[in-house]
Structure 1
């Protein structure tokens, strides 16, 4: 007996399609070329930084490729200088990938602070409070004693 006849002529429900990743879904919109460019730069970045020593590769990133110019972003002037010392390696790797890179431009950018939401502190246990008070009782320095007592009163 087929599934269709078991349910009185009603076909089985279609299997839902797997959800699409946001960047894949947006690729069919006017953002498509921008997303494709970002993915292309990300792949080039991965390949070009692969020819650099690990500490340096961790502090730089390919920012753009335009005409014959490769633009790298670094986190400090020190890494900028170090990256310039490896310019020949980077440009050779770029040419091996088919890029017309002949000029290495380096820009210093500060790391953007990460917005981390502070987790609420857990309250002190009774044992922790008593331990802080006992420690305060055992020290002779009045400043340290005051700080330990203050800590023992934190909610």
Structure 2
């Protein structure tokens, strides 16, 4: 048998999830993610308004700011905004000298007005759907006048 003893449980209240994560071995990745998020919030105002929804800060790798963008078009626009981003990053104490961008296929945020793109159903379409549902919900009769298979044909208007 081993001589190891289990650690006694601490009495008291449960720790909040974030506080528990910060005291765990996973502290460094969590702290880095929080730092990158705070850094992105500081740099986002320096981005052109049209570019901001299409890119996000992914990493600070040595002397590079690494952004993720939606498409090559936004990558080119980020390249044009690089000098201003570098100046802003240096003003808050980072020793960065370049900006790089990685292109992803998935958008970084849902499209603005995605709910507005759905068109309401017209009254004609609504009536057509209702009549189709009514036909589907009618019971199948054993009437000899109905065609084989039990489905009745709707009279033409």
Which category describes the TM-score, using the shorter chain as reference length? Answer: 0.5 to 0.7
Count of residue correspondences: 112
Extract unaligned runs of 5+ from structure 2. Answer: 1-11, 110-125, 138-157
Matches within 5 A, 1:42-81: 42-81=37-76
1:100 to 95, 108, 123: 95
1:40 to 16, 35, 43: 35
* Residue 150 (str. 1) matches residue 146 (str. 2): no
Q: Report the secondary structure of 2:56's partner residue.
A: strand
8 Å CA contact 1:132–1:152 kept in 2: the answer is no
Query: Once superposed, which parts of structure 1, at least 4 consecutive aligned residues long, lie more than 2 Å away?
Result: 16-19, 130-133, 148-155
Relative contact order (alpha carbons < 8 A, sep ≥ 6): 1 or 2 greater? 2
In the TM superposition, residue 111 of structure 1 has moved relative to its aligned partner by: 1.8
In the TM superposition, residue 109 of structure 1 has moved relative to its aligned partner by: 1.2
TM-score (norm 1): 0.61
Q: Report the secondary structure of 2:67's partner residue.
A: strand
* Residue 24 (str. 1) matches residue 6 (str. 2): no
TM-score (norm 2): 0.61
1:28-80 deviations in whole A, cap 9, x for unaligned?
A: 11111110000000011111111112221111111110111110110111111
| More helix by percentage | 1
Extract unaligned runs of 5+ from structure 1. Answer: 1-15, 115-129, 134-147
Q: Report the secondary structure of 2:50's partner residue.
A: helix
